Amino acid sequence: MQKTVKRDSEKKNYDFIDAIRCIAMIGIVAEHSVGTYPFVYDTPLYWTQIVLIQAAKFGTVAFFLLAGFLISEKFTAYTPGEYLKRRISTTFGPWVFWSLIYVIAMVINMAVKERIYHRGEFNLANIMHNIEVVYLYTNYWFIINFLISITILLVFRRYLYKLYFGLALLLFTLFYSVNIHYGWIESSHTTAILGFVFFLWLGAQLRKHWQKIETWLNKVPYAPIVFMVMLGFALAVYEAHRLAGGNVDPLNTLRISCLLYSLTVFVLLLKIKNFRFTTYLKPRQTTFGIYLIHYIVLIFILPELLIHFNFDVVKMSVLQFVAVKTISFLIVYAITFCVVRLINLSRARMLVGN
């Protein structure tokens, strides 16, 4: 009974974690809603796309930091086997279900297009290739990477608060950051298996020293933090521009400049801490479900809703592009939120991680 009371008390004290998780998810949905288009290099639409995506590109690092923040408590409350079993039961099952829904929708979509256009693309080889893309290059990459990262920390849990362990993990992250420019191995951040473990470790350190960090955050003014956010953003846009000439993933999350931007945005969110509007979005009940479902809505439902408008993105003005993408984000988030809330009210609520 005492353990239960203690855990409930700790959860109550960490309402800001749910708020930041909600904002991070909004950023991820917004980033995906912008999409990537082959705009002519160095044109206004090209720059607009980079700026919009980069502005929202802090969510992934934030999620790993938040998970790391909570991990230290879970590691002491559960054995490694219990914790991993609990994680798999609450995340792996829903991930399998919704990723398979996406795959089924993709195969149906391919079959319909084949009947219409007769391009000869509906074959086993192409289907298998697209399934590979789903699990390595869409939003469904995250859960695989996340579970592997947690398993690594579990294996080395005795070193969780050792500085040299954190430095070793940081070296892996920096390797991926440099590799983006040289392409020694696959450079997409979605396949960077060891690229994000450092942020779990860093989140655990944040939790360990939280009282001191919170005191410091209360004292430090907003100006230097906002300046660092703006500096990180400017550097990230510049690095993406430099990579755009010949890199398959110029907006890679693991760019050094993007990591600086993500970390400083996270610090700013910790500084603000209270985001009352997020309580209406029920982050604890909806965040994971929104992550699992929003891409299905974005890829398969949104185009059907906008099909009659005949948008030609390449010929839009900057204002038109921003407006269309803002509306797209609002539609995708609203539909996904409603679907998740309805599932939460049903017996199938375990499908969204609850």
Residue 210 has pLDDT above 60, yes or no: yes
Residue 119 has pLDDT above 90, yes or no: no
Q: Regarding predicted confidence, which is higher, 186 or 167?
A: 167
Range with the poorest average pLDDT among 72-86, 179-193, 238-252 = 72-86
Confidence (pLDDT) at 323: 96
- Taking the C-alpha atoms of residue 67 and residue 9, their distance in angstroms, rounded to an integer, is 18
Residue 11 has pLDDT above 70, yes or no: no
For the segment 50-75, what is each residue's pLDDT rounded down to a tens digit?
Answer: 999 999 999 999 999 999 998 877 77
Closest to 24 measured CA to CA, from 51, 69, 64 = 64
237 and 51 in contact (C-beta within 8 Å)? Answer: yes
204 and 69 in contact (C-beta within 8 Å)? Answer: yes
Q: Mean pLDDT throughout 115-120?
A: 88
In three-state secondary structure terms, 348 is: coil
Confidence (pLDDT) at 186: 85
Q: How confident is the model at residue 274 (pLDDT cuts 50, 70, 90)?
A: confident
Confidence (pLDDT) at 311: 84
Closest to 73 measured CA to CA, from 86, 91, 58 = 86
| Mean pLDDT score of the chain | 90
pTM here? 0.91
Confidence (pLDDT) at 37: 87
Q: How confident is the model at residue 14 (pLDDT cuts 50, 70, 90)?
A: confident
Q: Which of 153-167, 182-196, 329-343 reaches the highest mean pLDDT?
A: 329-343
The token duo for 16 is 């800001």
Confidence (pLDDT) at 76: 67
Residue 7 has pLDDT above 60, yes or no: no
Q: Mean pLDDT throughout 106-135?
A: 92
236 and 104 in contact (C-beta within 8 Å)? Answer: no
Residue 114 has pLDDT above 60, yes or no: yes
Closest to 62 measured CA to CA, from 258, 332, 222, 237 = 258
* Residue type for position 255: R
| For the chain, domain boundaries | 40-273, 281-354
Secondary structure (DSSP) of 314-345: GG--HHHHHHHHHHHHHHHHHHHHHHHHHHHT
Helices (H), the chain: 2-13, 15-34, 44-55, 59-77, 80-87, 93-117, 124-137, 141-155, 163-182, 197-208, 210-219, 222-243, 256-272, 283-296, 302-306, 318-344
177 and 259 in contact (C-beta within 8 Å)? Answer: yes
Residue 128 has pLDDT above 80, yes or no: yes
Confidence (pLDDT) at 4: 42
For the segment 303-331, what is each residue's pLDDT rounded down to a tens digit?
Answer: 999 988 888 888 899 999 999 999 999 99
39 and 49 in contact (C-beta within 8 Å)? Answer: yes
Q: How confident is the model at residue 2 (pLDDT cuts 50, 70, 90)?
A: very low
